[in-house]
Amino acid sequence: MNGSCFCGEVTYSVAGEPLLRAFCHCTNCQRLTGCPFLHTVHFPSAAFTWTHPEPHGERLDSYVIPSKPWKTRFRCKKCGACVMSANSKADKCSIWGAHLSRDDTGKIRYWDIVKPTAHIFYGTRMLDVDDDLGKWEGYENASTRLG
């Protein structure tokens, strides 16, 4: 699966099955994106590869959340879109579904693989979502189910 930032300067690929695919409502995601929730897809770090020309850092800015020094978010220097989060503690990475490549009709490719299965960190949501997905206080099947 391939993805990119808004302007296309930063590109990547991920391979294999996701470890998690959910709508995240955590306050960090809200504050860093300005959106009430986002579609996050987690993979083992080894599944992720930058595909834009090297040196990769010339096109990327990074930000480490002070309360979570093991998490680094990467964004495009040109358009500012956040495209990936690396978690060195868990050896995982997170991408956002909206950045994945789309088909001619505008639908995300490989939707059956990345389609969200739950709402996570729903306790800090900005709005209620009326759908059939489970709502979790933290991570799916690893925290209290809220709905």
Q: What is the pLDDT of residues 115-131, one digit of tens each?
A: 999 999 999 999 999 99
**Residue of 17, 43, 23, 27 lying closest to 132 (CA atoms):** 23
The secondary structure element, H or E, covering residue 71 is strand 71-76
Parse the chain into domains and list their residue ranges.
2-135
Round to whole Å and give the CA distance between 108 and 74.
21
Per-residue pLDDT tens over the stretch 30-80 = 988 889 999 999 999 999 999 999 999 999 999 998 999 999 999 999 999
DSSP conformation class of 2 = E
pTM for the predicted model, two decimal places: 0.93
Give me the CATH code for the 2-135 domain, please.
2.170.150.70
Per-residue pLDDT tens over the stretch 78-97 = 999 999 999 999 999 999 99
Predicted confidence band of residue 29 (pLDDT cuts 50, 70, 90)? confident
